């Protein structure tokens, strides 16, 4: 199974490149998706030169870009990681604190923010930090042929953070394989699916997430992960 939607630069335009996960192993600083140690540092330093406000603004802006330009999805994800890491380090530098949320609670900018929203931002910033710091582990896992069902270019920052764990990769790869095997033989009719979808809409969850596509994707990604874990307790096979 190849991974699609990786980007490579062709003159001044972008085109979709078809690559497998082993492309993560290559260090080619001439392409925008390179995330070798040198490129990671350059990306982080680029954001580190900004003010805290601008770095925080970039976090929100880059999240929006994911939905607007799907062909640049993976490059944007790498920018999210680098930006989040730079923002995390800049906030905590000289503060004596180890957690971004502890720092944020002392800032006027976040004092009026609901705790649920602050937790969501904190989780994202921390996910970026872990992805940046453990990128070698992520590459090692996702370039393993045994996890070829995982399409790297479509993974969110949160899922990339999870992929630093081989156990998570094993479970997610298996879940994707099973889901693909069931395509064409759905367990639910179209009518039943629409009923379930309407239940989700009626619950108000999407409204609570401010109708933000990035927040919705992250939240239901967590639901999927936890639902699979619950299913495995009943049916480990």
Per-residue pLDDT in tens (0 to 9) along the chain, 237 residues: 333 233 232 222 333 334 456 667 767 788 777 888 888 999 999 999 998 888 888 887 776 655 555 446 788 889 999 999 999 999 999 999 999 999 999 999 998 989 999 999 999 999 999 999 999 999 999 988 888 888 887 788 999 999 999 999 999 998 888 877 665 545 666 677 778 888 888 888 888 888 787 788 778 878 887 887 787 777 765
The predicted structure's pLDDT at residue 68 = 55
Please report the pLDDT score of residue 236 as a whole number.
63
Residue 113's CB is within 10 A of a number of other CB atoms, namely 15
Q: What is the pLDDT of residue 1?
A: 31
Give me the pLDDT at residue 198, please: 82
Supply the pLDDT for residue 230: 82
**Residues forming beta bridges with residue 15, ordered by sequence position:** 8
CB 73 within 8 A of CB 64: no
**Helices 52-68, 213-234: inter-axial angle, 10-degree rounding:** 70
Q: What is the pTM of this model?
A: 0.57
Within 13 Å, how many C-alpha atoms sit on residue 83's CB side? 22
pLDDT for residue 36: 87
- Per-domain boundaries in the chain: 3-185, 189-237
Q: What is the DSSP letter of 106?
A: T
Residues 64 and 79: their CA atoms lie apart, in Å, by 13
Per-residue pLDDT at 164 = 96
Report DSSP letters for 52-77, one per residue: HHHHHHHHHHHHHHHHH-GGGHHHHH
């Amino acid at each position: 199974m190849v991974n699609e939607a990786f980007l490579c630069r062709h003159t001044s335009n972008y085109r979709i490149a078809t690559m497998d996960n082993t492309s993560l192993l290559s260090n080619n600083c001439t392409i925008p998706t390179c995330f070798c140690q040198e490129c990671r540092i350059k990306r982080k330093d680029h954001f580190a030169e900004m003010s805290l406000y601008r770095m925080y603004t970039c976090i929100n802006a880059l999240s929006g870009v994911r939905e607007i330009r799907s062909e640049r999805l993976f490059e944007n994800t790498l920018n999210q990681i680098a930006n989040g890491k730079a923002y995390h380090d800049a906030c905590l530098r000289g503060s004596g604190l180890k957690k971004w949320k502890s720092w944020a609670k002392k800032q006027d900018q976040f004092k009026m923010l609901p705790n649920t929203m602050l937790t969501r931002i904190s989780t994202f910033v921390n996910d970026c930090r872990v992805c940046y710091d453990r990128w070698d582990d992520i590459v090692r896992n996702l370039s393993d042929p045994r996890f070829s069902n995982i399409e790297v270019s479509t993974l969110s920052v949160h899922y990339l953070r999870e992929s630093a764990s081989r156990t998570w990769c094993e479970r997610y790869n298996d879940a994707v394989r099973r889901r693909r095997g069931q395509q064409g033989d759905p367990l639910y009719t179209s009518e039943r699916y629409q009923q379930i979808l309407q239940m989700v809409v009626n619950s108000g969850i999407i409204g609570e997430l401010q109708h933000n596509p990035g927040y919705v994707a992250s939240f239901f990604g967590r639901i999927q992960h936890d639902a699979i874990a619950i299913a495995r307790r009943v049916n480990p096979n």
